[in-house]
Amino acid sequence: RAGARGAAMEPECRVLSIQSHVVRGYVGNKAATFPLQVLGFEVDTVNSVQFSNHTGYAHWKGQVLNSDELHELYEGLKLNKVNRYDYVLTGYTRDTSFLAMVVDIVQELKQQNPNLVYVCDPVMGDKWNGEGSMYVPKDLLPVYRDKVVPVADIITPNQFEAELLTGRKIYTEKDALEVMDMLHAMGPETVVITSSDLQAPLGNDYLIALGSHRKTKADGTRITQRIRMESPKVDAVFVGTGDLFAAMLLAWTHKHPNNLKVACEKTVSAMQHVLQRTIKSAKVQAGEGNKPNSAQLELRMVQSKKDIENPEIIVKATVL
């Protein structure tokens, strides 16, 4: 029991998570809060939208929070002097003024606590069959590139988003490493390209993710740790996986601050456990020969509690 007692003595670690909320299912804050809480973090959520469900369903209804309303909520925290955070976590946003307000809040929180870590998933678009397209308004790109990424400490773009942010295409692993260096130069210490269409050494059934952690030591020398991970592809369209990934990466980099390899192995392995459980369950629900629908493909989050807390490592990272 000594381990459990030791864990209980850890100082409180508090995350401000500004993401979307759905009544039913797991995306945004609904995908990030449970894993963070299970892993011992206090999570304060600002719901950037409140929808009945994610927009992959046939119908959705709900409300959107604007930047003034975000500011008002933050003012309330400030007036009570409870605006001290260890982490800020953000994901999908559609509005430039909302995103600019997030940057203002992060900068103010960093003045409060210079050690605050901002984890940003710069959600802008993705590739389908090799073709990239943006699913947020185009005018978000300069805000992410010029304002958000420079104040972020950890970013989790996919390949398409990394290319958008740097203006450089990735064709090879060498290109990807150079793009991650360009992203480091913009501000973040940790860059994880969460998915790419690079050829995996293990074959076509695997998806490559790449990570890079750059630290400047006290004497000014730089050390960079770089890793590659190959995860088995799961043949289904899941929603909320990026939000879950960013939340777990926040938790595991906190617990293994100088070991990106272990942090990513735990994150990606837990991801795999959740996705495998989800697809298995969805197929049972859909019935033999039927394609699972959006409701059946909602992440099996609660059922995966043990895997999130203590993931068996099933995806190993290669140090580059």
243 as an active site residue: the answer is: yes
CA distances to 20, 34, 140, 280, 315 from 73, in Å:
15, 22, 23, 40, 40
Task: Say which residue the tokens 């992060």 belong to.
Answer: 106
Residue 45: what are its φ and ψ, rounded to 5°? -110, 135
CA distances to 99, 177, 189, 250, 298 from 225, in Å:
30, 11, 11, 17, 34
SS3 104: helix
Give the closest residue to 100 by CA, choosing from 130, 124, 138, 67. 67
* Identified catalytic residue from 86, 121, 153, 243: 243
- How far, in Å, CA of 18 to CA of 290, rounded? 36
The answer to whether 153 and 189 have CB atoms below 8 angstroms apart is yes
Could you give the angle at the alpha carbon of 48 between the alpha carbons of 46 and 50, nearest 5°?
100
The answer to whether 118 and 156 have CB atoms below 8 angstroms apart is no
Task: Please name the amino acid found at residue 287.
Answer: G
- How far, in Å, CA of 189 to CA of 212, rounded? 8
User: Residues with catalytic annotation?
Assistant: 243
